[in-house]
Amino acid sequence: MVDHTTVLIAGAGPAGLVLGNLLQAQGIRTLVVERASREQVQTRARAGFLGPNSARVLTEHGLGAGMLHKGRSHGVCAFRGEDGEFELDYSALGRGEVHTVYPQQDLVTDLVAEYLDRGGEIRFGATVTGVDSGTATIRYRDEQGESVVSGRFLAGCDGGNGISRTAVPGRRYSQDHGVSWLAVLAEAPQSMAAVTYAIHDDGFAGHMARSPEVTRYYLQVPPGDAPEAWTDDRIWAALRTRMRVDDFGQLKEGPIVERRIVRLRSEVVDPIQHDRLFLVGDAASHISPSAAKGANLAIMEAEVLASALTSALLRDDERPLAEYSRTCLPRVWRAQEFSRWMIDLLHAPDDDFHRALRRARLHSLRDGRAHQNFFAEHYVGI
């Protein structure tokens, strides 16, 4: 027996949930199929920086109450290195825009609740085992066994390791940047007022507050390192060194509650649609976390696809759907370009030339107005 819906969505991350909410608001029936449990989905600590366009989408469509209540505006970042520290007030540069800091797990919790209130259905604990782009059909397995569900259209929002992207023929562009980060969540207040990027010969370190009680840190580690090799004491010792606490003050330390290795890599699928299947978010393109673009790309693509599906289903006009890839991919490549720029700024091969080049880039960013405006426009915009 095959269940039927109008739009079938694989994945309950920001991409799938924003898409589902926008379609439900238009009276379009949707079904989300998600491998993880509801608790897992609502507690996964991932992105935390929302750009102005993402905040606009959430606010305009009635999805931003939690963000507006608990989110914090952020318009300054800092860089530390051998020549000292400088702050960059990017809110006063470029288009004068800011980020909103709101942890992804809180956003997803909001989106799940709103989606269910709007009459949407989520089947948690359902592992997708097959996708048919021609019939917009998904096969999945859950505790009841194997099931099949189909719709008029199918949105693949199941991430870079999901099955949806395998059903879209086309080019796969990929780049391993040769850099690994240890991503750490600490139950500790922020130690600095701004997001801070620390450049050190031992490797990069980053400080990004997530809430008044929790701080995200990143440490560049050798490729192949296991997270278990980094004890709490080792993590804090490396952070103290790379953040240069002797020069800038001590860190506010606390228990490490999460540690995982992030390999900095980029992948883009072209096109991101085939037959009745459309890829959104990490399923369409994976981007390194160096510039905080992943969740923001997902939200923007969800808005574009929701508008196109609404046009097709309510106005019998499929032209916007036909243009989905051509609409989204230029933005994807702009984000990838800036992400690569940030990787080059924060990391350097272990030789004198590249260390000197990195130092020159930092000086240009500190002193050059044109360079600062470039950074501000691309750091916030998407």
By three-state DSSP, how is residue 225 classified? coil
**Cβ-based neighbours of 262, under 8 Å, separated by 6 or more:** 180, 181, 182, 183, 218, 289
The residue count of the chain comes to: 382
Which of 99, 274, 289, 378 is an active site residue? 289
d(CA 326, CA 314): 22
Q: For this structure, is 289 an active site residue? A: yes
Q: Which of 102, 115, 140, 379 is catalytic?
A: 379
Q: How distant is the alpha carbon of residue 10 from its chain centre?
A: 17
Pick the catalytic residue from 74, 99, 347, 378: 74
Point out which residues pair with 156 in neighbouring strands. 10, 279
Q: Is 379 a catalytic residue?
A: yes
For 210, list phi and psi in degrees, rounded to 5. -110, -30
253 phi/psi in degrees, rounded to 5: -95, 160
Active-site option among 90, 102, 140, 197: 197
Query: Is 90 an annotated catalytic residue?
Result: no
Amino acid letter, 15: A
- Which residues lie below 8 Å from residue 21, measured CB to CB, with a gap of 6+? 61, 63, 111, 114, 115, 118, 120
Tokens of 124: 């948690």
Selection from 329, 310, 316 nearest residue 22 by Cα: 310
CA separation for the pair 96, 275 (Å, rounded): 40
Active site residue 218: no
Considering 274, 293, 347, 378, which one is annotated as catalytic?
293
Q: Residue 330 catalytic?
A: no
Look up residue 327 and give its two tokens.
């609409």
Output the CA angle 336-208-214, nearest 5 degrees.
Answer: 135
Which residues are part of the catalytic machinery? Answer: 74, 197, 289, 293, 379
